Amino acid sequence: MFRQLVKHELIATRRLVPFIWLATAVIAAIHLIANQIDIQWLAVTSMIFMIILAIGQIIMTYAVVVMRYYKNLYGDEGYLTHTLPVKAGSLLGSKVLTSFIWLMLSYLVAGAVLIVVLAAMNSQRDLSLIQMYRELRAAIGFTDSQALRIAGLVILFIIYSLLLQLAQLFFAMSFGSQSAFHRLGLAGPIITYLVLNFLLEMASLVMMVFVPLSLKITLDINGRPTGDLDLVGYGMIEMIRNPQTASPIIGLGGILFTVLAMAALYWGSHRLIERRTSLR
C-alpha cells in the first residue's frame, strides 16, 4: 500500500513543478545560444530570467509539497484520506519521500542553472568548467580526494537540511490544524512554524557553541584549509575565547540536537496524524 501512496503523491504533485523546470530549461537554452552567437542583450536578459526561475521553482516546490500535505490530510481530502486502510506512518512516510524527491530535483535544477551561469561567465576567459574547477581547487589548496570529501559532506548537509525543513513544516501543519487554531485558518500552521523554527535555531546555536564536540578545520602554513577535519572535545566557545590562536571549528552540538529534534518532530507528526487532528 505504501508504494501506491507514493505513486499517488507523485502523480498529484507533478502537475505544476515540472512546467517551471521546462521553462527554466528553455531559457537556459536561449541563453547558451545567445551567448554563442554573441547577442549580449538577449544573453543578459535570459540569464536574469533563468536565475529568477531557478529561485522561483524552489519556492514553488516548497509551496506545492506543503499545500499538498495540508490539503490531503487536514483539508477536504482528509475525510477520504483517513478512511484508507493504511497506518499513519505510511501516510507520513509517503509525504516525506515524495516531498524529498521533488525538493532534491528542484535543487539539482538550481545547481544546473548555477553551472550554466558560471560557464557563461568564464567563456569570456576561454575557460572550461574543468579548468575553472582546477583553478578553484588550486586557490583553496585541496587535492581531488579532499574536494570529493568536501562535496560528499555538502551533499549530506543538503539532505539533512531538507529532512529537517520537512520535519518542521509537516509538524507545523499538523499541530497548527488542531481545533484550538481553527479560527486562525492557515495562520495557525504558519505561526506554529515561525515559533518552532525560531526556538530550534536558538537552541541549535546554543548547542553549537557550548557542547564540547566539534570538527576542527586543519590549516596549512599559509592559513588555507587543507581539507582535513579533526574531531575535538570542545565547542565553538573556545574559538570565541581565543580568536587569534584557535583554528576554525564547526560545533557539532547543534547538528546532534537538530537530528534529535527532527526525530521528535516526525514522531509528533505521526502521532497527530494518527489522532486525525480536527479536520476542517
pLDDT given at position 203: 94
pLDDT of residue 242 exceeding 90: no
Beta strands across the sheet bearing 225-232: 225-232, 214-219, 249-251
Tens-place pLDDT, residues 51-109: 888 888 889 889 888 888 888 888 777 777 777 777 888 888 889 999 999 999 989 98
Please state which of the ranges 56-65, 116-125, 177-186, 191-200 shows the lowest mean pLDDT. Answer: 116-125
How far apart, in whole angstroms, are the C-alpha atoms of residue 31 and residue 108? 19
pLDDT of residue 277 exceeding 60: no
Q: Where are the domains of the chain?
A: 1-141, 143-208+256-280, 212-251
pTM, rounded to two decimals: 0.83
Q: For 116-169, what is the HEC assignment?
A: HHHHHHHHCCCCCHHHHHHHHHHHHCCCHHHHHHHHHHHHHHHHHHHHHHHHHH
Tens-place pLDDT, residues 150-183: 788 889 999 999 999 999 999 998 888 877 777 7
pLDDT of residue 121 exceeding 90: no
Inter-residue contact 42 to 12 (CB < 8 Å): no
| Three cell numbers, residue 276 | 486525525
How far apart, in whole angstroms, are the C-alpha atoms of residue 28 and residue 43? 9
Which whole number is the average pLDDT over 124-136? 67
Query: Looking at the DSSP assignment, which residues form a beta bridge with residue 225?
Result: 219
Summarize the chain as % helix, strand, coil (round to 5).
75, 5, 20
How far apart, in whole angstroms, are the C-alpha atoms of residue 198 and residue 163? 17
